[in-house]
Structure 1
């Protein structure tokens, strides 16, 4: 039953999101993807992180990670090539996480000057005592970039990564547009509506047991990589995200998720990827290929929300782990 039938007031808060449904594959530089080759003109400087980085003693070689995944094994840990416990000195190349074309994802908000291609990068190392991460967003005009004289074939890599989950698995995308509704907590919705939603959830559990569908996990916001729509706030609780330049409330551009499916999101798993006779993780067909296709991790198995300024997308983006 559509959620608006039960709560008609939610129609005013409806927002479209595009689920990306990444699956391991062989995307090209001219494709939208997670973890594939970037459309990057040869000769243009690759993005580097110039901040101090956390000390490391061991890590995983990117090429060994790729070979181990292909063989279904776990890569070996190697001793860091620097002195034991030494600080990583000098600039570190960012890792390309994803690129998205508006031609493939019409709901993707335009960038500065109407840019229609966005590329997401992450520094593979943590920073400071709170182990913070650094991300980079690059906007492009797809047409002129695609006609560049030559494209970068082999971007720079660090010799060792601190974790296997820092290297994305190349994935093709299968976009799907769905309706989403706000996370029901604090002041994201009127208090009276949140109270009714909570009461409805309790009634569902009383009637159908602990596996009954709930608003938060089954009816409001899907898991996984997605563009636009509403942010989920499972770990942090809702927060205001305003532009640091002009104080305008920012909009959600993209969500990168550690998992595409879990035990609490049964109803969002595509029909072809689940066993209708089972519930929870056991119902997911394809196991890790479906549940964690990108092999990336964000925070404690959480979401990375990328926000941009609707007044001027050229203002610095904000990154929120939730």
Structure 2
């Protein structure tokens, strides 16, 4: 099934004509629970991984934990609509304290499915995203890995790895991605309205317009940040959102070039101020506004993942050389 973003509640360029110069395109990925294959773009599905190639491991020390959830119990509880039961770590330590742990495969994206996706080194057309299932250091830091591939070369392997290795316990249920198929859709997008991103006079006009909308329409009034600029959820390309951090200059640590946004991962496909982005196919046409949204967690939080305290995970790459290390920014 396709996914179709509703028309915006207000024509943003009719209200702010100067934003036409800043209009961009972003591909909304619209993940929904399903059974993706290893030769498909997906979140949480099986990776296209040759069997004779070592699975990526995290070899750093990990934070000590007291309890966790078995991946199979998480899967069973989701199928039953219940909460999984936690259990203590086996023995005195935790998985990974005495050796490396396998990374969790979060997602893979083929450029043939998502034409707006940037190419990798030497024209690589498949990107795979991994995360360490445990946190690091006193502040709970995360470790991510981006792997570029040439899909044609990988698909010619004789045998493929299935299933991927995983740790016996996870600290949180939202460490395990729900397998999701994608429904890519391109939509217009506009930059975050904060100093350093858009001109100050335009930001002042946007703020004044939002105040007038709220005074006239109340709590349900349209807002630039929530309804007109950047859609929520997983997406490729477009502009970064800066709700938690404020705008940041992201430079390549190898050559200092300004980096380009490759992907954004987000736990929720909507928030309280962004429900207007929910696709038409996930709405009851007999109802209006937020009340029309149907599908429950399958539509609102399909991947079951979280990044930080419900923040966006932005993946930046170097436009000068995509082989330079990416940067992972929670915003």
Give the aligned length.
321
Shift of 1:89: 2.2
Q: Tell whether 2:97 aligns with 1:97.
A: no
The answer for the alignment partner of 1:221 in structure 2 is 230
Output one character per residue of 1:270-313: Cα deviation in whole Å (capped at 9) or x when no partner.
Answer: 12223463444x44211111000000010111110000000000
CA change 1:63–1:87 in 2 (3 A) is closer
Partner of residue 152 from structure 1, selected from 129, 151, 161:
161
Distance 1:307 1:82 in 2: 40
Distance 1:89 1:184 in 2: 47
Distance 1:254 1:20 in 2: 10
The answer for the alignment partner of 1:26 in structure 2 is 35
Q: Tell whether 2:112 aligns with 1:112.
A: no
Q: Tell whether 2:110 aligns with 1:65.
A: no
The answer for the alignment partner of 1:131 in structure 2 is 140
Query: Where does structure 2 lack aligned partners over 5 or more consecutive residues?
Result: 1-9
Distance 2:257 2:264 in 1: 20
The answer for the alignment partner of 2:322 in structure 1 is 313
Superposed CA RMSD: 1.3
The answer to whether the Cα contact below 8 Å between 1:54 and 1:87 also exists between their aligned partners in 2 is no
Distance 1:114 1:11 in 2: 31
Point out the more displaced range, 44-53 or 84-93. 84-93
Q: Tell whether 2:87 aligns with 1:78.
A: yes
TM-score (norm 2): 0.94
The answer for the alignment partner of 1:47 in structure 2 is 56
Distance 1:16 1:93 in 2: 35
Runs of 4+ in 1 over 3 A off after TM superposition: 84-87, 275-280
Query: Where does structure 1 lack aligned partners over 5 or more consecutive residues?
Result: none
TM-score (norm 1): 0.97
Distance 1:308 1:87 in 2: 29
